Structure 1
Amino acid sequence: MTAPFKLYMTGDLVLDEPNADFFFDKTRPLLAEADLLIGHVEVPHTTRGQESVGDIPAPASDPENLKAVGRAGFHMVSLAGNHIHDRGGEGIEDTIANLTAQGIVSAGAGLDLAQARRPALASRGGLRVGLLSYNCVGPKDGWAGQKRAGCAYLKIITHYELENANPGGPPKVYTFADPDTVEAMQTDIAGIRDRVDVLVVAFHKGVVHTPAHIAMYEKAVSRAAIEAGADIVIGHHAHILRGVEVWRGKPIFHGLGNFVTVTRALTAEGNDNPVRRAWAEKRKALFGFEPDPDYPLYPFHPEAKNGMVAACHIDASGAISPGFRPIWMTPTGQPEPLGADARGRGVADYVAAISHKAGLKTEFAWEGDRVVFKGA
């Protein structure tokens, strides 16, 4: 029997600390299993450019740190997100050039909108894989234009509706994507569909630091991508896992959470940037959590210690068996792979719980050390 092609996809990569290779060490055997490995680079790696204004900019990371991504075995990365433009066009240009020099192809950002919408393409083991990447969360200053560097995007509209006699009380929140940008995404998908065997669409989406919750637009845009021809949809941005589902036979990973995401920029103590320090304090009140003090490089929601690597197996006929490998974030900031033991089952149970809480009906089973989706 021919072994399946293994397509693995990870959560966010934020490499703000020196000796970046260290943070991948526990997962190297797992990552080496992949025939093709996809990640998401969250911030620019550059020494150039001016820090952006208008949102909460992330600090640019050392270009040397990005080289750890190639040494960890990544082949493709998505770039569309709310921080990739935080050092303007120079930061995007330098980040893409750094990746290209490592042989890593990227999608989702560029020096203009045409470049940002251009797919990443890779062929390995006789399988042609394509990747498209879109930012759903803003800020508008980071969106690419006809002559402006930035990222590919979907414009999401938010409407608040008061549904009882309580002015100033909690509203119901409606979110939906601007149809023109959805159509543009579907045009991109149609344009690449015949050139690849497997097409992955990555969305930067969701409400940060909030367990289980999937906003209204997230299901709609993910399903629209599949209906247009995507084979797999993955999500980043929330910095915490989201549920998974199967739509028309295709898997949607609504949020892969964090992978190597080490930073001090979201810690209030010792933060010399007043804007980032204020946000580090505000987000704890907004989202109701306190980072674990034993995790100095990982200032995220305590439930964000649960993690996964999406692990899709593709057989000779092209059929996709979706699943994931559980991981756990350690105090050092290193993700640790887990198997089908009590700890791994705890993470799998967490994924099942948040999926069902979000109204997704996915059921799971174990296949060795991989959690698979029943019926997919």
Structure 2
Amino acid sequence: MAANVIIAGDCGPAHGPEDGFPVGGYIDLIAPTLKTADFRLVNCMRTYSTSAAENSDAPQVAQPIAMAELYMQAGFDGITMANNHAFDAGPQAMLDTVKLFRARGIQVTGAGRNFVDASAPVILEKDGLRIAYLGCTSLGKPDGAATGTMPGVLNIGVNTRYEHRGPHAPVRILTAPDENDLMHVLNVIRELRPVVDRLIVAFHSGVIRVPRVVSDYQVTVAHALIDAGADLIVCHAPHIPKGIEVYKGKVIFYSIGVFAMTKPFAAPSWSEPAWSQGAIRNHMDLHPDYPFMPYGTDSRFALLAKAGFDRGKASRVSFLPLYFDQRYRPQALEGGDPRFKEVVDYIEWASVDMPHTFSIEGNEVVVTA
């Protein structure tokens, strides 16, 4: 009664056949790896609809319906749409996308017609073993959080305050989840826990592009989710990998990076003084070899989270180091590849001070306390 699950990060290329990028081409190198799992899960960062509202801030979000074929070709069983882009093209485009995936046999979590719909998990079953995958975010639009009567995403708001320590020291940024929002999500977890054997939560959260930094609210929420009954937390949003923590024997990936993403332009922030004058640029910059993945140098690699679940045994959690070629295709690296060590060393660096142990077993990195 064992089941293997692979969880991928942010997905949603903005370049298609007309740009010289066949839709299925993005998974050419990773398809054999995906097929080794019983189930495959991913975060969808785009909408696929003919009813998309115009949005000048993120025009890459509204994609032609044909681009959604990527998810079917990759064999994804479940998708989370709880993220900062699900509502960009308007509520109808979001709902159309949910309907599209469900009609194609892919379950969706994290977004829907109302709170109940958005908080419905993906349920995976094999040989009597029931696994739930629930999507939530702390990056939802102000008007894009699902309510009892309004469509949106399953969102946990964040309260931010600043501790000023004078001109000689950096300002400390303190963040905490909205208590009411967190309580609603924890109640979903508690109600779900008794009817499933394992529970994975996809938590779209974190500081984008900046390496290593994990926000206070992420830790608070991740720990609370585990305390409420979650078995594994997989975060994404920063577009680069971040640290891994083992809390009460359960693994938290604070960001696994992207899976298949392109964007035709860099973020406006790269031209702001804090970036161009070096405050952030000292740590990262755009990579000239990846002009359509303008998320910083560290976005050239990522992780696939992997979990082996068995009703009578402890869960086995690992990650597969990925690297992208210049066609933006992710590929799982082999243990002897120098890039494999580069990714593992990076994650060790990002995980400093977080309880964890990494053990290399073949082409996987097993995570334990």
Q: Give the TM-score, by structure 2 length.
A: 0.91
* Moved beyond 6 Å, runs of 4+: none
Structure 1 counterpart SS, 2:239 = coil
Shift of 1:94: 1.2
Other-structure match for 1:16: 14
RMSD: 2.0
**Per-residue Cα deviation, 1:251-277 (whole angstroms, up to 9, x for no partner):** 11111111111221x33xxxxxxxx7x
1:108-123 aligned within 5 A: 108-123=110-125
Aligned partners of 2:204 and 2:38: how far apart in 1?
Answer: 24
Aligned partners of 1:150 and 1:340: how far apart in 2?
Answer: 41
Structure 2 counterpart SS, 1:199 = strand
Other-structure match for 1:350: 346
Structure 1 counterpart SS, 2:30 = helix
Aligned partners of 2:105 and 2:160: how far apart in 1?
Answer: 39
The answer (yes or no) to whether the contact 1:52–1:86 under 8 Å persists in 2 is: yes
The answer (yes or no) to whether the contact 1:57–1:83 under 8 Å persists in 2 is: no
1:46-85 aligned within 5 A: 46-52=49-55, 56=58, 58-85=60-87
Paired residue for 1:99, among 92, 98, 101? 101
Aligned partners of 2:218 and 2:360: how far apart in 1?
Answer: 27
Paired residue for 1:319, among 275, 291, 314? 314
The answer (yes or no) to whether the contact 1:352–1:363 under 8 Å persists in 2 is: no
Aligned partners of 1:280 and 1:7: how far apart in 2?
Answer: 36
Aligned partners of 2:309 and 2:323: how far apart in 1?
Answer: 25
Shift of 1:81: 0.8
Other-structure match for 2:19: none
Task: Among all aligned residue pairs of Structure 1 and Structure 2, give the percentage whose two residues are the same amino acid.
Answer: 28
Structure 1 counterpart SS, 2:48 = coil
1:271-350 aligned within 5 A: 278=268, 281-282=271-272, 285=276, 287-288=280-281, 289-341=284-336, 342-350=338-346
Aligned partners of 1:183 and 1:65: how far apart in 2?
Answer: 36
Matched, 1:262 2:267: no
The answer (yes or no) to whether the contact 2:87–2:141 under 8 Å persists in 1 is: no
**Per-residue Cα deviation, 1:259-296 (whole angstroms, up to 9, x for no partner):** 111221x33xxxxxxxx7x4564495474243222213
Other-structure match for 1:270: none
Question: Greater shift after overlay, 222-231 or 118-127?
Answer: 118-127
The answer for unaligned runs of 5 or more in structure 1 is 268-275
Shift of 1:80: 0.6
Aligned partners of 2:160 and 2:201: how far apart in 1?
Answer: 23
**Per-residue Cα deviation, 1:176-229 (whole angstroms, up to 9, x for no partner):** 011111111110001111221111111111000011110111111001000000
Aligned partners of 1:113 and 1:310: how far apart in 2?
Answer: 27
Q: Matched residue pairs, number?
A: 358
Question: Greater shift after overlay, 293-302 or 281-290?
Answer: 281-290
